[in-house]
Amino acid sequence: MKAKEIKFLSNLDSRGTLTSIEGDYIDIPIDIKRVFYMHHVTSDRGGHAHIDTDQVLIGISGSFKLKLFDGKDTIEFVMDDCTKGVYVPRLIFTDMYDFTSDAVCLVLANTHYDMGKSLRSMDAYMSYLKEHNLV
């Protein structure tokens, strides 16, 4: 699986901690075209895969669990450290669950949103992978 955890540069001084993330392949392996965040989450999120979008997910506050599936292998992360993110390349089926009430998930994406370029169910995802000889 090509998904991986990324540790961000943090600078600590008497005022607190500043954590930075630079695009253009400096800190993350994508060029940022879209930024969004989820908060006040009341149920599971994700449940889909993007055909052409790579993302970096960051648990900014609280915690949640992230489960990734590439058609063969599954990997899970506990998202509870705002100095780390998870790189999720295109065509990885993503599920997010067990959100705490104060959880905030920041997402950096390399494309603009197009719902037509996502696979919204596991059946659609597996069919796409098989049709394109990816499993």
> Hunting for tokens 């695009």 — which residue is that?
23
**Catalytic residue selected from 48, 50, 112, 132:** 48
Distance CA 82, CA 73 (A): 26
Structure tokens of 44?
A: 């599971």
CA distances (Å), origin 64, targets 12, 96, 117: 25, 7, 25
Active site residue 39: no
Place of tokens 């992360």: 77
CA separation, residue 98 to residues 59, 79, 87 (Å)? 12, 10, 20
Residues that are catalytic:
48
